[in-house]
Chain A
């Protein structure tokens, strides 16, 4: 999954979002309707699609979709 696909697939996890609203540079906490529940949804999404476990520190250290993607790639390699 490249960064474009990742962004698009992750966007689909959010409710009531116009397709194309979210880009790799979007700060995911600024997405309309953001709540802490989305942290769990992102963790589940990443676990299912990448078999990578994001922890609380990974989320704390990231802002944008691109940041998240980088963390996943780094963890995937490790």
Chain B
């Protein structure tokens, strides 16, 4: 099993950026009133942020990173690693992380690479960067995580369009021999590849004549082969089956009692899914399980740091909190980690 203990690394700060523009579930033209009520009540999304054509994921991550670096008073020349986790890169190539290294003014000594993961991406990114830093051979690293999912959804697809919001985040990690151990449990199952997929545009299915043709898949669902397809039932069953055991295995591996976790921050998939997972884990204190999905929708890999920024900022100020983070989705790919948030710098939400 991909279970890890990582020492000597600490989260110093987190920043999150969203577009200014809001879209409201109440104003979604392809839902009738009953569907709007049901969607708000069960999925839990009132509004979300959607980026204009000019703004990409990297722009939001850049804004988060700039502000975080200056708030931490970090010398940019001391940042040795930049990882960009996203499924909405600026270009097919080169990797967006490398563009960000230059744009942020980091030195040429810095390593930079992309990771192509969605809703599990924050946990995977944290694991990789933590392990790189824990050796002490690099001291400071940036994890830039987010997606512009609105790029990939079609307005006439009720199963995807009202669900996703855009966001880009930055997390600063530093070598620190006084930090507590961080624990990870990472998993994957490619048999779920069809559950969330964009069919065309990659090497397997290159763009073809009908790639952009909008077709009716079923009533209420129209999209092209370049848009995101999502099978709600399969995703739901995957999350119900896999997330709680993954978290329980992690707790057991770490030898940590559920009661000593101060906050459980889950990927903001869908309120119904998240509440089912919470009940399965028997976490009864709802104040330990913050939600940002009501105001931002499902923000893919950005949802965990975004939720920390908008819901836990005040609770983390000058505090030491044991936090369990869990991300799950497209792939399927999922993972969780237990990390102490000890006196971290949590910036106000940035809007661009």
**In the bound complex, do residue A56 and residue B279 qualify as a contact, i.e. CB atoms below 8 Å apart?**
no
**In the bound complex, do residue B232 and residue A40 qualify as a contact, i.e. CB atoms below 8 Å apart?**
yes
**In the bound complex, do residue B42 and residue A40 qualify as a contact, i.e. CB atoms below 8 Å apart?**
yes
Which one of A1-9, A18-26, A30-38, A62-70 contacts B?
A30-38
Chain A residues with CB below 8 A from B241, complex form: 53
**In the bound complex, do residue A36 and residue B232 qualify as a contact, i.e. CB atoms below 8 Å apart?**
yes
Chain A residues with CB below 8 A from B159, complex form: 36
Asked whether any CB of chain B lies closer than 8 Å to the CB of A41, the reply is: yes
Chain A residues with CB below 8 A from B34, complex form: 15-16, 33, 35
A53 to B240, CA, bound (A): 8
Looking at the assembled complex, report how far the CB atom of B168 sits from the nearest CB atom of chain A, in whole angstroms.
Answer: 29
Chain B residues with CB below 8 A from A15, complex form: 34, 37-38, 41
Asked whether any CB of chain B lies closer than 8 Å to the CB of A10, the reply is: no
A37 to B234, CA, bound (A): 13
Contacts A15-B38, A44-B272, A53-B240 given; does A39 touch B233 at CB 8 Å:
yes
The size class of the interface chain A forms with chain B is 10 to 19
A63 to B243, CA, bound (A): 30
**In the bound complex, do residue B240 and residue A41 qualify as a contact, i.e. CB atoms below 8 Å apart?**
no
Asked whether any CB of chain A lies closer than 8 Å to the CB of B11, the reply is: no
> A37 contacts which of B38, B237, B273, B275 (Cβ < 8 Å)?
B38
The size class of the interface chain B forms with chain A is 20 to 34
Asked whether any CB of chain A lies closer than 8 Å to the CB of B28, the reply is: no
> B233 contacts which of A16, A35, A43, A47 (Cβ < 8 Å)?
A43
Looking at the assembled complex, report how far the CB atom of B342 sits from the nearest CB atom of chain A, in whole angstroms.
Answer: 35
A43 to B241, CA, bound (A): 12
Contacts A39-B233, A40-B233, A56-B233 given; does A47 touch B240 at CB 8 Å:
yes
Residue of A with least CB distance to B240: A47
Contacts A43-B240, A55-B237 given; does A37 touch B35 at CB 8 Å:
yes
Question: By DSSP majority rule, is chain B's interface helix, strand, loop, or mixed?
Answer: helix
Chain B residues with CB below 8 A from A40, complex form: 42, 232-233, 236, 270, 272-273
Q: Which of B10-60 contact A (CB under 8 A)?
A: 34-35, 37-39, 41-43
Asked whether any CB of chain B lies closer than 8 Å to the CB of A61, the reply is: no
Looking at the assembled complex, report how far the CB atom of B207 sits from the nearest CB atom of chain A, in whole angstroms.
Answer: 30
Asked whether any CB of chain A lies closer than 8 Å to the CB of B276, the reply is: yes
Asked whether any CB of chain B lies closer than 8 Å to the CB of A59, the reply is: yes
Chain B residues with CB below 8 A from A54, complex form: 237
Chain A residues with CB below 8 A from B232, complex form: 36, 39-40
Contacts A37-B42, A40-B42, A44-B276 given; does A55 touch B35 at CB 8 Å:
no
Asked whether any CB of chain B lies closer than 8 Å to the CB of A74, the reply is: no
A58 to B279, CA, bound (A): 23
Contacts A36-B232, A37-B42, A48-B279 given; does A43 touch B237 at CB 8 Å:
yes
Give the top 9 A-B pairs by smallest Cβ distance, nearest first. A56-B233, A44-B276, A33-B34, A44-B272, A47-B240, A40-B236, A37-B38, A48-B279, A55-B237
Spell out B's residues near A (CB within 8 Å).
Answer: 34-35, 37-39, 41-43, 159, 220, 231-234, 236-237, 240-241, 270, 272-273, 275-276, 279-280
Complex A-B: 27 CB contacts under 8 Å? A16-B34, A33-B38, A35-B35, A35-B38, A36-B220, A37-B38, A37-B39, A37-B42, A38-B38, A39-B232, A39-B233, A40-B232, A40-B273, A41-B42, A41-B272, A43-B233, A43-B236, A43-B240, A47-B240, A47-B276, A53-B241, A54-B237, A55-B233, A55-B234, A55-B237, A56-B233, A56-B234
